[in-house]
Amino acid sequence: MPRVKFTPILERHLAVPPRAVEGGTVREVLDAVFEENPRLRSYVLDDQARLRKHVVVFVNGEMIADRAGLGDAVESSAEIFVMQALSGG
């Protein structure tokens, strides 16, 4: 099963422990995580179900290409990392 990890900065807002979930695409994997933790969805996706502007997803260390549809393939042994960029001054 793909393993999903989230940037620790999200821990300020809600619990996001690493999870192993089923899925063959980034969308399917994230939907499985959101099913278990619905509040997390709004931190990662916008109202059009696309990645938020300052969120990046990596599969096995490679940034995904499909930010809108999240259709990048995910193997059962994949490591997925969801990261939010920090900004400020």
Q: For residue 55, give the CATH number of its domain.
A: 3.10.20.30
**Confidence label for 1 from pLDDT (cuts 50, 70 and 90):** very high
**Which tops the pLDDT comparison, 60 or 89?**
60
Please give the single-letter amino acid code of residue 50.
Answer: R
**Confidence label for 89 from pLDDT (cuts 50, 70 and 90):** low
Residue 7 host element (H or E): none
Q: Is 44 in contact with 55 (CB distance < 8 Å)?
A: yes
Report the number of distinct structural domains present in the chain.
Answer: 1
Please determine, for residue 84, whether its predicted confidence score (pLDDT) is greater than 90: no
Instruction: Check residue 19 and give its pLDDT.
Output: 94
Per-residue pLDDT averaged across 32-58, rounded? 95
Q: Return the structure tokens found at 80.
A: 């997925």
pTM: 0.91
Q: Which domain holds residue 12?
A: 3-84
